[in-house]
Structure 1
């Protein structure tokens, strides 16, 4: 199988399993950007502009995602004590539960792979994926 197709199918399968797991626990997974927003807000409360900057998108793009996440109860807007005009974004209790549930799924998924394939094989996959994800090149150019 073509390497790109193999990577894509592996990711699609992972995401399908994750969404099924989340649905069983009462969570909606609507956008791929949810995970990035959740992790950013887990580190510290941010304004929509700061969140957009952190994610490499416009403040308007961040606000659109945040509006959706507020609507589903994952994020809350609270007054910024340092700037009365600004609102800080925080994970709600439901958002914290979602993030904890996702992290538990990731751990269980990897542990299942270790049980089936062995720790050395999974460590190799992690190393390869880490290399792919960390490349600072704009694109692959075959030699």
Structure 2
């Protein structure tokens, strides 16, 4: 079927399927590398926490979920050893959630794995097609940065 005859609903499904394929491959590799309990929502939450740390409320806002939902995710990440709660050095009333060395290791490994997965796409599609795909997506995606609020958006 010529591209102009492709039904419009296929585009979001193909984009989502590509996203899902990458995320599933990432998590299979993370499992092999010693991170078997990490789920996609955990990666989004750790990105929302960031290198400087964040409160549970900030994590919830960044993910687009309630403070309670963010708190449950943070609780799970604490139990797994990927984050810790600590006193905020600037405000004694606040607790910060910070990445632990294990959390930083998982994010570092994820970045490495994503580079390898992208290289696999380059091998299958060619460097020019992958670069064109990325450039095209940058053209149509809002420039507000990369969203980590996917869990809340699906909810």
* CA distance 1:57–1:131, shift in 2 (3 Å): farther
Superposition RMSD on alpha carbons, in Å? 2.2
User: Residue 26 of structure 1 corresponds to which residue in structure 2?
Assistant: 34
User: Residue 43 of structure 2 corresponds to which residue in structure 1?
Assistant: 35
User: Residue 88 of structure 1 corresponds to which residue in structure 2?
Assistant: 96
Out of 58-67 and 93-102, give the one that drifted further. 58-67
Q: Which structure ranks higher in relative contact order (CA pairs < 8 Å, sequence separation ≥ 6)?
A: 2
**Number of residue-to-residue matches in the alignment:** 135
User: Residue 135 of structure 2 corresponds to which residue in structure 1?
Assistant: 127
C-alpha separation in 2, matches of 1:55 and 1:12: 18
Deviation at 1:38, TM superposition (A): 1.5
Deviation at 1:135, TM superposition (A): 8.3
C-alpha separation in 1, matches of 2:90 and 2:17: 47
1:16 is aligned to 2:24: yes
Please say if residues 51 and 98 of structure 2, whose CA atoms lie closer than 8 Å, have aligned partners that are also in contact. no
Gap runs ≥5 in structure 2: 1-5, 145-155
Please say if residues 51 and 99 of structure 2, whose CA atoms lie closer than 8 Å, have aligned partners that are also in contact. no
- TM score, norm. by length of structure 1: 0.81
1:71 is aligned to 2:79: yes
Gap runs ≥5 in structure 1: 137-143
Deviation at 1:130, TM superposition (A): 3.4
Structure 1 moving runs of 4+ over 6 Å: none
